[in-house]
Amino acid sequence: MNARTLPYLLILPVTLFLCVFFIYPFVLVAQLAFTQGDGFTLANFREVVGYWKFPISLKNTLLLAAIVVPIQLALSLAMATMVSKMEKGRDLVLYVWTIPLGISDLAAGIIWLAIFEQSGFLNSMMSGMGLIDKPISLLTYEHPWVIFIAIALAEIWRATAIMLVILVAGMGLIPKEYYEAAEVFGASPWKRFLKITLPMLRPSLQTALVLRVILAFEVFAVVIALGGSLFPVLMAETYAYQFDLLNSGAAAAIALIILAISIGFTLIILRLLRVPKGATI
């Protein structure tokens, strides 16, 4: 086998798979979004952007990502540091922490719904402790911020592990010598974290953040379970256009808008966390 062609041959199956199941459908979706009847049009985009709920769902989606992702970043960094310092039982802890990853997001939403419902665990606990006389409904249109907190909590609980896994792998790649040298010079643990771990972790941070941010813009099932239509997000609008209104063009348009936002943020993250040329581990 020619050493030159071998790599191309090896990635051929994946490339074909992506072309058939990603690029081709993507082209179809783009076609749907830009046509109405016959011929090119922006009418679908005008329709979805002009709908009174669009600014609200855009704001909600961005706000949720802006709150959830930084918290998850901090949490997963802390958890990854703890795990990598562990001598015994490291695998067990990692498995336990990644259990939420194995649960579908709808199931995660339902778990948190069971907590926050009027007859849910939180209410029973509070009335058991004598804090309230009778169960109160928490997830109502009257307290939108409770719905927001519930969704944020469910998202943090569910998807922190995906960042954790990537960061743990990244930390394992950092050579011990740097830490030993820093210790010789008397650097505090906090300083070692700031000056060694964080900079050396850049490639993993990049991957973790890109993945997590894209997922954050696609948030759907958790929101539906906890907030229903009280907390509109972009993905729920897509679903409504496709299945309630049977308007595939508008659904495709809003999907492309989500894609554009995701690409935009991916580029920003790649740029901010870029690894300078030649500075590899």
Partner 1 sequence: MNLQNVLLGATAAVALTTGAAQAEVLFWSTQAKPIEETQAMRDQVLSGFDAGADYQANDSGPFLTRLNAELQAGDGTIGVLGDLHGGFAAMDAANLADLSGLDLGGVTVNPTFLELGKLGTDQQHYLPWMQASYIMAANKKALEFLPEGADIDALTYDQLIAWSAAVEEATGDKKFGFPAGPDGLKHRFFQGYLYPSYTDGVVRTFKSDAAVGAWEAFRALWSHTNTGSTNFSFMQEQLLSEDVWIAFDHTSRLAGAFNERPDDFVAFPAPAGPTGRGFMPVVAGLAIPVTAPDMAEAEALVAYMMKPETQIATLRATNFFPVVDVALPDDLPPSVRAAGDAIAKMSGAADANPGLLPAGLGDKGGDFNRVYVDSFERIILGGQDIRAVLDDQAKVLDAIMQETGAVCWAPDAPSEGACPVE
CA-based nearest residue to 257, from 273, 241, 246: 241
Q: If phi over 0 gives left and psi between -120 and 50 gives alpha, with beta otherwise, what is residue 10? A: alpha
Considering only residues 144 to 203 of the shown chain, the ones binding partner 1 according to CB under 8 A are none
Q: Tell me if 140 contacts partner 1 by CB under 8 A.
A: yes
Which tokens sit at 51? 């709908």
Considering only residues 63 to 92 of the shown chain, the ones binding partner 1 according to CB under 8 A are none
Q: Tell me if 252 contacts partner 1 by CB under 8 A.
A: no
- Using the rule CB under 8 A, which residue among 247, 255, 257, 261 binds partner 1? 247
- Using the rule CB under 8 A, which residue among 224, 253, 254, 255 binds partner 1? 224
> Is 197 exposed, middle or buried, given 0-12, 13-18 or 19+ CB atoms closer than 10 A?
buried
* CA-derived radius of gyration, the chain: 23
Per-residue interface string for the shown chain with partner 1, residues 11-50, x marking contact by CB under 8 A: ----------------------------------------
DSSP, res 104:
-
CB of 88 to partner 1, least distance (A): 45
CB of 138 to partner 1, least distance (A): 9
According to DSSP H, which parts of 129-247 are helical?
Answer: 144-172, 176-184, 189-192, 198-200, 202-217, 221-227, 234-239
Q: In sequence order, what are the beta bridge partners of 40?
A: 35
Q: Tell me if 229 contacts partner 1 by CB under 8 A.
A: yes
Residue whose CB is less far from partner 1, 177 or 244: 244
Q: Which residues bind partner 1 (CB under 8 A)?
A: 52-53, 118-119, 137, 139-142, 224, 228-230, 242-247
